[in-house]
Amino acid sequence: MNSFFFGIYPYIALSVMVIGSIARYERDPFTWKTSSSQLLRRRQLIIGSVLFHVGVLVIFFGHLVGLLTPITVFDALGISHGAKQLLAVVAGGIAGIMALIGGAMLLHRRWIDPRIRKTSSLADMAILIMLLAQLVLGLGTIFVSLQHLDGHEMTKFMAWAQMIFTFRAGAAEQIADVALIFKLHIVLGLTIFLVFPFTRLVHIASGFFAPLRYLFLRSGYQLVRSRRRRPLEERRRSAEPRAAGARAATIPHGTAGGAVPSAAE
């Protein structure tokens, strides 16, 4: 059981995430979007969305650096395991609470507004609930982490993650004896990776790849729209009399309407 969930399941989840995302991008490129509902309940969306995204981004980069940086790098920098553990608990805890509040606002908005609910798919609801559950489990791990602030337990997760990413055998054994809440958190985290290509989470990949794609592959394809509210035609029409007046002022007396071409020409 332990070997399956922490030795094999990570590879299944990561493979489905990568291959599934490429397949979706190739097969249905027009479904690759956040399916924004920003026209509705805008205020709640903005506050909830900012809290959620800032929190989740801090957690994402915290997990990435915290789990995948070789422990020897922290040792070389003179950062003790205890200090790293404390940083994970404090920074991760604050970011986790922000993301939880923001995520709850987003779920509330999606759940109670009949129009947003109607345009939400099962996957939209399910992924939000999964992320909230993951945040609750993650925050729950803090209570266990506080009992071993020397950082010893944390080095087990680092060894596990690094062995998985470098395809080394024996990864699952590294975390065989950790508390159940950590295991539940990791399995749900991997399940979020697994369902990634089938949800609106795919927009995360755009956040990372779109700038690169724009810079290196398709520069020149940017579409720029004016934020001015009045349509172009209306602005042009109202500018017309002013332009005509300015022309008349510059034409010497008695020659107006003569050889000067009109705007229509």
By CB under 6 A, name the binding residues for ligand HEM.
Answer: 56, 59, 62-63, 85, 88-89, 92-93, 96, 131, 134-135, 138-139, 141-142, 145, 154, 157, 182, 185-186, 189-190, 192
Tokens of 91: 């920074």
Tokens of 190: 């991997």
- When the beta carbons of 28 and 177 are compared against ligand HEM, the nearer one is 177
- When the beta carbons of 125 and 142 are compared against ligand HEM, the nearer one is 142
Backbone angles phi, psi at 199, to 5 degrees: -130, 180
CB of 81 to ligand HEM, least distance (A): 10
- When the beta carbons of 65 and 243 are compared against ligand HEM, the nearer one is 65
Q: Quickly tell me which residue has 């070389």 as its tokens.
A: 76
CB of 35 to ligand HEM, least distance (A): 20
- When the beta carbons of 40 and 139 are compared against ligand HEM, the nearer one is 139
The amino acid present at 127, given as its one-letter code, is I
CB of 4 to ligand HEM, least distance (A): 15
- When the beta carbons of 40 and 67 are compared against ligand HEM, the nearer one is 67
Shortest-Cβ-distance residue relative to ligand HEM:
92
CB of 39 to ligand HEM, least distance (A): 27
- When the beta carbons of 63 and 117 are compared against ligand HEM, the nearer one is 63
- When the beta carbons of 59 and 205 are compared against ligand HEM, the nearer one is 59
- The CA distance from 104 to 58, in Å, is 18
Q: Which residues contact residue 152 at a Cβ distance below 8 angstroms, ignoring those fewer than 6 apart?
A: 81
CB of 67 to ligand HEM, least distance (A): 6
- The CA distance from 9 to 11, in Å, is 5
Among residues 188, 166, 196, the alpha carbon closest in space to that of 14 is found at 196
Backbone angles phi, psi at 161, to 5 degrees: -65, -40
CB of 134 to ligand HEM, least distance (A): 4
- Give a three-class secondary structure readout of 33-84: CCCCCCCCCHHHHHHHHHHHHHHHHHHHHHHHHHHHCCHHHHHHCCCCHHHH
Tokens of 222: 């940017």
CB of 154 to ligand HEM, least distance (A): 4
Q: Quickly tell me which residue has 């959620």 as its tokens.
A: 52
Q: Quickly tell me which residue has 């700038």 as its tokens.
A: 211
